[in-house]
Amino acid sequence: MPVFDAATMRDDIVTRLLQGEVNLETSRYLDRLVELASLEEAEHQFLIDPFDRSVALVFQLFRSKDLDPWDVDLTSFLEMFEERIQNAENIDLPTCGRLIRMAWQILRGQASTLIERQENAWDEEEEYFEFDTMGWESEFTEDDYNFSVGILTGAADEVLPSMFEGRIHRGESRPVTLTELLMGLQSAKQISEDQRLREEIAKERREANERARARFSGSLHVENLEDDIRRTWEALREKHVNENGAVDLKSITEHLCNRSLEAGLELDEAQAEAQVTALVSSLFLTNRGYADLTQESGRNGVITLRDLHPESDDFDVLTKSINPKPEMELSSDV
């Protein structure tokens, strides 16, 4: 009695794929096959030919990891598949590709289980260690043993000096020639000259570093805006000769430059610092009401700084009268 409907499934195909079981009704996979065949979403339901549906049913069954893929006879599948291709009038390529893919999955499962079985077999093998029947003393000869005993007991004390004499003291086979002596002296002279040259270079570098440090320490300018403003105001007081108290900014710059030169700065640095100090301080003197900064019309008009308080000679007194401190600052100073 057939298990499956002959119109949709072929029992003989299923039997051959299951390692040629004689009776499908007594197969241990019968219940699972029947259950899988009734599933509407199973992959074989999308196939039409009974051969294709039967093969797909068996291949789907053995996707489960608890079943042994080696129970599927892929050799029989190849024989039946080749026969079907040769006898078919129209070949359904998508269906053929699907069956080949499913067969490849079974083959992959067989290979994986084969590797696992081999690894388990290796783990179960008893480790065998081959022990050498000879003792540690077999690695040494009697001569080595006797030599070691002689060293430890002192019996070889008389022989030891002669053993190392040839290695430590090398006997000269001939005297040194005059040419070799001159070449040695020339090499020593060259080494001495190289050493002297290195010392001179090192001395020059030390002197250059000292000059650079001295120059840097002399050119170090600690910016103090209030001191710069005071120095510029004092230069204005010393330089003004006009009745209106106006002084050319260039004259103030020269005055500040001379003071910087007296302090030890180089000419270039003193000029650059004087120009910046004179200009910035003049702007602050104008803003705070000490002086008035003007420039003549034209491209290179002369810039002049005019003292607004020619009657005052004390910068601190003038500062208190022009810019008195707020009451809060006065109270904090007290």
- Longest distance between any two alpha carbons in the chain, whole Å: 140
pLDDT band, residue 191 (cuts 50/70/90) = confident
The pLDDT, as a whole number, for residue 334 is 46
Residue appearing with tokens 């050319």? 248
Top pLDDT among 5 and 273 is at 273
Cα–Cα distance, 274 to 252 (Å, whole number): 8
The pLDDT value recorded for residue 165 is: 52
Residue 35 has a pLDDT of 78
pLDDT exceeds 70 at position 119: yes
Match 């000059």 to its residue by tokens.
211
**What does the alpha-carbon distance between residue 249 and residue 145 come to, in Å, rounded to a whole number?**
103
Average of per-residue pLDDT across 251-262: 89
Q: Please say whether the beta carbons of 251 and 239 come within 8 A.
A: yes
User: How many DSSP H helices and E strands does the chain contain?
Assistant: 13, 3
The structure tokens listed for 239 are: 């330089």
| Residue 212's pLDDT band (cuts 50, 70, 90) | confident
* Predicted pLDDT of residue 219: 46
For the chain, the straight-line distance linking the first and the last C-alpha, in angstroms and rounded, comes to 122
Per-residue DSSP letter, 42:
S
**The tokens of 201 are what?**
């270079």
Which pLDDT score, from 0 to 100, does residue 89 have? 78
Residue 281 scores a pLDDT above 80: yes
Question: What pLDDT sits at residue 43?
Answer: 76
Q: CA-to-CA distance for 198 and 194, rounded, in angstroms? A: 6
Q: Is 279's pLDDT higher than 70?
A: yes
Q: What angle do CA 254, 256, 260 make, to 5 degrees?
A: 115
Q: Spell out a b/e string for 149-167, using b for 16 or more CB atoms within 10 Å of the CB, else e.
A: eeeeeeeeeeeeeeeeeee
Model pTM score:
0.34
221 or 124: which leads in pLDDT: 124
Top-confidence residue, 277 or 245: 277
pLDDT at 215 over 80: no
Higher per-residue pLDDT: 216 or 65: 65
Domains identified in the chain and CATH numbers: 11-124 (no CATH), 225-333 (1.10.10)
Which residues, 6 or more positions from 85, have their beta carbon under 8 angstroms from its beta carbon? 91, 96
- Provide mean pLDDT across the span 41-46: 74
| pLDDT tens-digit map of 123-171 | 655 554 454 445 545 555 666 667 666 766 777 677 666 655 544 444 5
Average pLDDT over residues 265-274: 87
Q: Tell me how far apart the alpha carbons of residues 256 and 221 are, in angstroms, rounded to a whole number.
A: 14
Whole-number Å distance between alpha carbons of 152 and 91: 93
Please state whether beta strands 291-295 and 303-307 pair in parallel, antiparallel, or not at all (unpaired).
Answer: antiparallel
H or E, element range at 246: strand 246-248
Please tell me the distance from the alpha carbon of residue 35 to that of residue 42, in angstroms, as a whole number. 10
Structure tokens at 290: 């000490």
CA distance 44 to 99: 10
Residue 169 pLDDT: 47
Report the C-alpha gap between 270 and 274 in whole angstroms. Answer: 6
pLDDT of residue 82: 86
Q: 191 or 217: whose pLDDT is higher?
A: 191
Q: Is the pLDDT of residue 23 over 70?
A: no
Residue-level pLDDT at 181: 63
Instruction: Convert the pLDDT of each residue in 174-188 to its tens digit.
Output: 565 656 666 776 777
Cα 114 to Cα 185: distance, rounded to the nearest angstrom: 82
